[in-house]
Structure 1
C-alpha cells in the first residue's frame, strides 16, 4: 500500500499502544464499519486495555487495603506502647507525654495541671495471701474505680506494680483534693474476689504543677508527697510542700550511708533482759540493733530497719546481727555462770525467713561457737508468716527440729489468731506493748489482757509481755499468771559491756525481793 493510501487506523493503533505503555489504561479506539483485519487488531487492543485496567484497579484496592491494615497495625502498636497491658490505662510513657502537653499549655497561659500519685497500701499481702491472679484482678478493679472519679480530659495511668497516677489538666487545688478524696472513697469499698473480700486502700501524694516545671520535676514532687503520706499511715492524702524534698534528700542520703554501715562497723547491739516475773531472774536477753551514726548519733531501729528493707540490705543486716550476738553469747557463757536455760532472742525479718540457707547458717554458727541450740530463740513478726509460704514453713520446721526456740513477736498488731498460731511450730508469743498502755486507764482492759493470756496458755504456748514500765503492771501480770516479761521497769536495753557487767554480778534484777517492792530509780 502506498504512503498516500496508508490506513489512518494504523497510526491510531500505534498511538493507542504507546499510551497503554505509559499507563493510560483508559485509552480506547473506536472500530470502523469495515470489520476487517485492522478492526480485529483494534478490538484486541481495546480488550487488552480493559483487562489491564481491571487488573490495575484490583491492585490499587489491594494496596489500599494493605495500607489501611498497616496503618491500623501501627496505631494498635502505638496504643499498646502507650497503655498498660493489664488494666488498659495509660502507662508511664503516655503519662509523661500528657504531662508535657499540659505543662506546655500552662506555659501559654492556661491553668497548670495537678498530678496525683497513688500507692496501694499493703497490696503485697493480697498477692502473698491470695496469689498473683487475684492481685491482677484487684489492680483491674482499682483501675476501673479510678476512671470513675475523673473527667474525660483527665488521664489515669498505671506506672507499674501497685502504683497509679491521675493527671488533671488545668486543675485547681480544690479540684485536685476533691478527686483525691473521691479516689480514697471508692478504693475504701471492699473488692469481692469470688467468696473473699479484700481492700485496696491507697496513700496519695498531690502536686499542683507550675508552668515552669518539667514533667520529671512534677512527677518527682508528687512521688515525694506520696511517700510522705505512706510514712504517716494508711489512706492518707498529702499535698506537696517544698520541705518534703529536704526530707527525701535526707532519706536518700541515709540510704546511701546505711549500705556501708555494716562494713564500717557502725552498727551496735543492745541487750534488754527478759525476766521471770515471780522471781526477777534473768531468763535471757533480747537483741536490739542500733546504728551508731558518726554525725547523727545513735539511731533507733524504727528509723532505719524499714529503710533497710526498702533498699534491700535487710538480709545482710540480719546475718550480721545473728552472727555478732551469738559470738557475744559464747563469750558470756565462757566468762559468766549463766543458767542452762538462758536464751538469746534474735529478731528475724520476713526476708531472712525466706532464705534457703538460713537454717544451715544458724546451724554452722551454733556448731562453731559450741552453743546449745536451746539457748537461741528467733523472734518473727506475725506478718512474716501470714502466708505460710513453703520456704518460710521449711525454715520454721527446720529450726524447730534443730532445737531453736521460735517466738511470735508483736502479737496483737497483725493478722494472727490463736487457732492460726497453733498450726505453726512456735512455742512462745510476745504480746505487744500496746496492750499494756491502757491497762489501768481503760475500762475492761485488764480483763481483755487476761482473756488473751488464757487463750495463749490454752493453746499450749508461753506468753511474754513486753513494754512493762511500772511496778503495778508487773504485779498485775504476775497475778494473772504471766510467767515472764520485759520492759523499762526491769531494765532498759544496754550495750554489750553493761549487759555483761550485769550478768557477771547477778542472775536476778534488784527491783525488790517481791514484785511489789520499790520501783528502781534507775530503771529507765
Structure 2
C-alpha cells in the first residue's frame, strides 16, 4: 500500500531474502530477488549491521548509479522492538533525485556569472576556500583585475557592446592562464584569478605580465577598435592570512593602489594597515559629526601696519571620545574621500556664524572682526555652497561682509566655470573671497583675473625662512606685485618673528597670520585676545 519503494528484507542462513516487495520498488529497478537487487549489492553490510544492532530504525542517504544518471534515495530501515531477533526489517526509499538535481542546478547558477559562464564572486571564494583547506594558504595567490575606463565604453557604445567586450576580455585572460589557474568574474568589470604557486610568488608576476600582453591588441567592437587597459593587484598567501576571503580582500586593495600607481601592485601589509586606520578615522569622524564632538578654534589675522586683529581663521579641531587628538592633516583627507567633508563643512560654517554672533552680543555691537572659513575643493563640487552660507548667515543674523571664504587653487582646476558661478553667488551675499595657499597649485592667471577674489594668502612654505632665502623673497615679491596689479589684498601665513612681519609689511603685504600673534584658540580665549589687543 505504500506509495514509495518498500521491501521486507530477511537475513537468514547467511543470505538475504525479499519476503515481499511492493510495486514502486519493482518499478524503480530495484529487483524482486535479493541476490540480484542493487539495493542488497549496495547496502548489504549496512543492513546486516542494523539487524545485528539493538536499534529499531536507521536512516541515511544512498546514491545508485554512475555520475551521469546517478539516483539519490533517502533510505529508512525499521522494525518493531519485538522483532529484533527475527532478522527481518522493512526498508523504504524516497527518491530525491529530482530535488537534489534542482538544488544543484540552482546552486550552480548562484555561483556562476550568467554573462561569461565563469565562477562569480561567491563561487570563486568557495573554490578558493576548498583549495586552501586542502593544500594550505602558501600555495596560492589571488590576482584581481579591473578594466580601466570601462564605464565610458558602456556609456558610449551601450550595454550590449559592453557585455560583448567583457566576454572577449574573459577569453583573452583565460588564454593567458595556465591550465590549473581558475578565472572568475567577481564584479561588473572586475575579474579574479586563483593561482597555484609552482615556483613561488614570481609566478603571479609572470601571469600578470602575460595578461597585460594579452590585452595589448585592440578589441573590435562594431566599427570601433577598443584598447583595454587594466589594473592588477596581487596578494600572496602566507601564514599571516587567516582565510580565503582575506586573501581576496588583500588583492582588491592592491588593485586599488594599482589604479593610482599605474603598475601592477603586490599587497603590502603596511599600506593596508594605513587604509584600515583611515577607515577607523572615518567611522569615528562620522560619529563625532553626528554627536557634535568637534570644535572650532580661531587663529588671529592681523593688520601688519597697525598690529590690530582684523579677522580670525576658523580651524576645526577634533579629540576622539578616547581623548586622542587627531590632526586635521589626518582627518580632513579622510573626510574629503568619504564625502563627510559636506556635513563637516556645513557644521563649520554654522559654528563660525554662531560664534561671530556671540562675540557681537558680548561686545554690545559689531565686535570689529570677520571670520574666515575654509571651503574644500570636494565640498565645492558636492554641495550647494551659496545656499548653505546664506542659510547660516540668516540663522544667526550675521552680515555676509563678516565672513571670508577661503578656497584653494586646486578647487579651480577641475571645473572652473562651475566654481566661478559659485564664487559670484557668494559675492552676491557680500562675503569676502580669499585664495588660500597661493603659489602651491596650478592656477590659470586668466581665471584669477576674472574671478571675484579679494585676498591672496601667501603659503607658509614661501614665508618660513624667507629672510635667509633670496628665491623665496623673489617669489613673495612677485605675488605681492601680482595682487597689487589685480587690486587684491594679501595675507602672509606662517609669521613667527617680528623681523619677518616688518619685512613683509615693508614689501607691501596687508595682513599676517602665524604663531607670532597666537596659536589657534578656543572661542572664548580668541574673544579675550581680541578685546585685549584691539582695546
2:455 corresponds to 1:455? no
224, 248, 262: which one aligns with 1:219? 248
Aligned residue for 2:361, secondary structure, equals helix
Q: Deviations over 1:344-365 (max 9, x none)?
A: 1011233443467532332243
Matched with 2:285 is 258
Residues 474-493 of structure 1 correspond to what in structure 2 (within 5 A)? 474-493=501-520
Q: Is the 8 A contact 1:168 1:176 kept in 2?
A: no
Q: Is the 8 A contact 2:176 2:207 kept in 1?
A: no
Matched with 1:464 is 491
Q: Is the 8 A contact 2:312 2:370 kept in 1?
A: yes
Matched with 1:503 is 530
Change (3 A) 1:356 1:314: closer
Residues 103-182 of structure 1 correspond to what in structure 2 (within 5 A)? 112-115=139-142, 152-153=177-178, 167=193, 169-170=195-196, 172-174=200-202
Residues 53-132 of structure 1 correspond to what in structure 2 (within 5 A)? 81-82=115-116, 112-115=139-142
Q: Deviations over 1:43-62 (max 9, x none)?
A: xxxxxxxxxxxxxxxxxxxx
Q: Deviations over 1:260-289 (max 9, x none)?
A: 212322110100111122222211000011
2:300 corresponds to 1:273? yes
- State the shift of 1:390 in Å: 5.9
Matched with 1:436 is 463
Q: Within 2, Cα distance between the matches of 1:316 and 1:82?
A: 42
Aligned residue for 1:498, secondary structure, equals helix
Give the structure-1-normalised TM-score.
0.60
Matched with 1:407 is 434
Higher RCO, Cα 8 Å, sep 6+: 1
Q: Within 2, Cα distance between the matches of 1:472 and 1:453?
A: 18
Matched with 1:207 is 235
Q: Deviations over 1:393-426 (max 9, x none)?
A: 3322111112111112222333313322222222
Q: Within 2, Cα distance between the matches of 1:478 and 1:120?
A: 55
Higher strand share: 2
Structure 2 spans left out of the alignment, 5+ residues: 1-111, 157-164, 213-228
Structure 1 spans left out of the alignment, 5+ residues: 1-77, 84-89, 134-139, 185-200, 509-524
Matched with 1:445 is 472
Give the total of aligned pairs.
Answer: 396
Aligned residue for 1:273, secondary structure, equals strand
Q: Deviations over 1:435-474 (max 9, x none)?
A: 3345355562321232233223323332222222334433
